[in-house]
Structure 1
Amino acid sequence: MTNNKPHRDTLFLEEAEILSHQAFEGDQYILRLQAPRCAEKALPGSFVHIQCDSSRPLRRPISIMRTSAQQGWVELLYKAVGEGTRLLAQRKTGESLSLLGPIGVPFKLNPERPRPLLIGGGVGMPPMVFIAQSLAGKREFRPLVILGSEVPFPFKPQPSTLLMPEMPDGVIASMPLLDDWLIPSRLASLQGFPGCYEGYVTELARHWLQSLPAEELSQVEIFSCGPHPMLEGVARLADEFNLPCQVSLEEFMACGVGGCAGCVVEVQTDQGPAMKRVCVDGPVFDSRKVFPA
């Protein structure tokens, strides 16, 4: 018998203790929570639904950036932009938050495409870091991570120790954590940050793709998360180079588990256009199904 409730055995409600809560410029925060059941089942592209404060019963969806199944924690990056997340930003180490997760259809890596290009923008960076974590130490994959931000990055960029001659001169800034994992990364911004590419993530990605010989280009698949206009640009980039592309959509959510249908988007299917729920039918979709050419 087919299980028509795919999240029945992998969705957990936990009282998650705050292990650390770091603040960064631009109202950005990295939150680490003790949530062992979520940490065990989470996959790149999964998110959690958090109750930010007891005074705000509606939860907020936040992407998972990395996990430790062994130590039982999940780590999240979010930006305080509304009342709920501003209340969340006030929560202290040692307090507990009600966490529901992991939720959503994850990214799917294809061994026949061993050169994944991971493109993240703003608070869309976490799923790309999570994919990179899942690939750390796997020699069969050769990922490249491109991250963009128009506020200071929520980490201290450093010159990469992993040289990439395909990159424009002077573009050397990287995310230190990814360097530690021996996964090359490069940063893009329009804010003139040292070592960063002066432009959009899609422009830097195009520069890299154009540098690849045909055989290596055929090994690339694009994965992306970020603001809607950026994802649309990434989808057009994938069309330009005839590459498969998976995108994780960001939408407002109420229930987060598929009951309210408040996060539906139009998706192209074999039977024609259909409305799909980002929370449980996504958040990951084939870019061509949500951004048709």
Structure 2
Amino acid sequence: MSPTHTADRKHRGTIFQEEGRILDHHDAGADQWILRVLAPECARAAQPGQFAHLQCAPRLLMRRPLSIQRVDRGAGWVEFLYKVVGDGTRALSQQAKGDTLSVLGPIGQPFRLNPERPRRLLLGGGVGIPPMIFLAHRLHLQGEAGKTHAVLGSEVPFPFHARPSEILWPGLPDGAIATLPLLEDWGVACRLTSKAGLPGAYDGFVTDLGRAWLAGLAPEERAQVEIFACGPHPMLAACAELAAEFDLPCQVSLEEFMACAVGGCAGCTVPVRTPNGVAMKRVCVDGPVFAAEDVFPEPSRA
């Protein structure tokens, strides 16, 4: 399987096109689906924060970008969580185990871990949850789960069976008890939030619990924290504000509509602050991960 050529030479040799066989594909409720595809090249190279550009059905030319949720390099599979929002993802939801679809990936700049900031706060909302799961798993494999905290939010039922947490998380308000079992099994402290009254979830936003935890840390502990976030634009703006409030670094993974997803069409550009001033950057290959302060340079205090 040969690397696909991209518009920018620096990305050549890092994005692979494979005919992936669907190993598992199931409805997780609320129009959410979990898809596992055999794509060894993508699985081997993928890093947390990256995504793949998937063919949804043989009749559809336009692909859809999906964040990578997990990989197994040994078994060669890549897993995605996605929500049906249009014709493309609805067609994808109709593909069955054993079917094949074209996988283009991994694509984009991943999250970068700073060893000087060993305490990580992971904030994921909606379809921004998958990159947080991938990052949590990587930290688990590196033996760093014990200093990792994750808050996941959703306004529709979560695509997994929540359970009461067995990991103590001092400083959180009452009612924050539900967790994602997968993360807790990895040793990651995790809590769920929702404004939709979901059982066990804290009635609030991911930043509410993040703020409560950060406020309860000693200054020397807080100085070791870095925030990682993915979700809708308003949520990421709030995460940038939270980071600024506590003077912490924050990396955000942006969600954006994409056409080619390999840097050729420039249809996913966003303004990003650089040393030479604001420049238009492509979310697909210059991102999707950026420093929050470069995308949200003046967080609103409203």
Q: TM-score, normalised on structure 2?
A: 0.94
CA shift digits 1:84-120 (9 cap, x unpaired) = 0000011100000111000000000111001110000
Q: Which residue does 2:229 correspond to in 1?
A: 224
Distance 1:193 1:45 in 2: 27
Q: Which residue does 2:27 correspond to in 1?
A: 23
Q: Does 1:240 align with 2:245?
A: yes
Q: Which runs of 5+ in 2 are unaligned?
A: 1-7
The aligned amino acid for 1:106 is: P
- Out of 53, 56, 70, which is 1:66 matched to? 70
Q: Does 1:98 align with 2:102?
A: yes
- Out of 58, 81, 100, which is 2:85 matched to? 81
Q: Does 1:111 align with 2:108?
A: no
Q: Which runs of 5+ in 1 are unaligned?
A: none
Superposed structure 1 runs of 4+ greater than 2 Å apart: 4-7, 137-141
Q: Which residue does 1:279 correspond to in 2?
A: 284
Q: Does 1:11 align with 2:15?
A: yes
Structure 1 residue 165, shift from structure 2 partner = 2.2
CA shift digits 1:227-276 (9 cap, x unpaired) = 00000010011001100000000000000100000000000111111000
Give the match's secondary structure for 2:281. Answer: strand
Tell me which moved more, 30-39 or 133-142.
133-142
- Out of 209, 212, 220, which is 1:207 matched to? 212
Give the match's secondary structure for 1:40. Answer: helix
Structure 1 residue 140, shift from structure 2 partner = 4.7
Structure 1 residue 186, shift from structure 2 partner = 0.4
Q: TM-score, normalised on structure 1?
A: 0.97
The aligned amino acid for 1:69 is: R
Identical counterparts, % of pairs: 59
Q: Which residue does 1:192 correspond to in 2?
A: 197
Distance 2:192 2:89 in 1: 26
Distance 1:254 1:36 in 2: 24
- In the superposition, relative to structure 1, how do residues 275 and 117 fare at CA in structure 2: closer, same or farther (>3 Å)? same
Distance 1:173 1:36 in 2: 34
Structure 1 residue 208, shift from structure 2 partner = 1.0
Distance 2:99 2:297 in 1: 45
Q: Which residue does 1:172 correspond to in 2?
A: 177
Q: Which residue does 1:162 correspond to in 2?
A: 167
Q: How many residues align?
A: 290
The aligned amino acid for 2:107 is: I
Give the match's secondary structure for 2:10. Answer: coil
Distance 1:118 1:64 in 2: 16
Distance 2:187 2:172 in 1: 17
Structure 1 residue 204, shift from structure 2 partner = 1.3
Distance 2:215 2:239 in 1: 15
Structure 1 residue 26, shift from structure 2 partner = 1.5
- Out of 131, 138, 152, which is 2:135 matched to? 131
Structure 1 residue 166, shift from structure 2 partner = 2.0
The aligned amino acid for 1:16 is: G
Structure 1 residue 137, shift from structure 2 partner = 4.4
Query: Cα RMSD over matched residues?
Result: 1.0
Distance 2:142 2:101 in 1: 34
Q: Which residue does 1:183 correspond to in 2?
A: 188
The aligned amino acid for 1:133 is: H
Distance 2:90 2:143 in 1: 41
The aligned amino acid for 1:185 is: C
Tell me which moved more, 148-157 or 17-26.
17-26
Distance 1:134 1:146 in 2: 17
Distance 1:25 1:68 in 2: 24
Distance 1:110 1:140 in 2: 12
Q: Does 1:41 align with 2:45?
A: yes
